[in-house]
Copies of this chain bind each other. A is one copy, B any other.
Amino acid sequence: MRIGELARRTGVSERSLRYYETQGLLASERTPGGHRAYPEAAVDRVVRIQELYAAGLHSTKIRQLLPCMRDQDGGPSAIATPRLVADLTAERDRIDRTIADLVRSRETLDEVIDAAGDA
């Protein structure tokens, strides 16, 4: 699959896909002419990357994390080091706090929306 199709299927811009490659998050084969060629599994991987980005992880952490993830074609190809586990645990706690925060903000929005609905 080429980059255009991958972009279409994942909803991620070609620009971002190329950026992911420079960050070591997404590998690609190349055609003899130098065009990128992706395996089917790239779709899942890009979706995962997007999720992690949206969860506030930086590319550095994602790069360390990806090899330790179980992807659809088999088990993880690496086990997290204790150092990485500590980092990820911190990220996990941060995500917990973020979720709690989002829930509070959602309640705030709902209050305002409901108050307007009563009017």
Contacts and interface: CB of A to CB of B under 8 A. Distances in A.
A76 B106 contact: no
B116 A55 contact: no
A5 interface: no
Nearest to A110: B92
Question: Chain A's interface: helix, strand, loop or mixed, by majority?
Answer: helix
Interface string A61-97: 0000100111000001001111011001101100110
Contact of A98 (B54, B82, B84): B54
B52 A108 contact: yes
A115 B55 contact: no
B89 A55 contact: no
Interface of A: 48, 51-52, 54-55, 57, 65, 68-70, 76, 79-82, 84-85, 88-89, 91-92, 95-96, 98-99, 101-106, 108-113, 115-117, 119
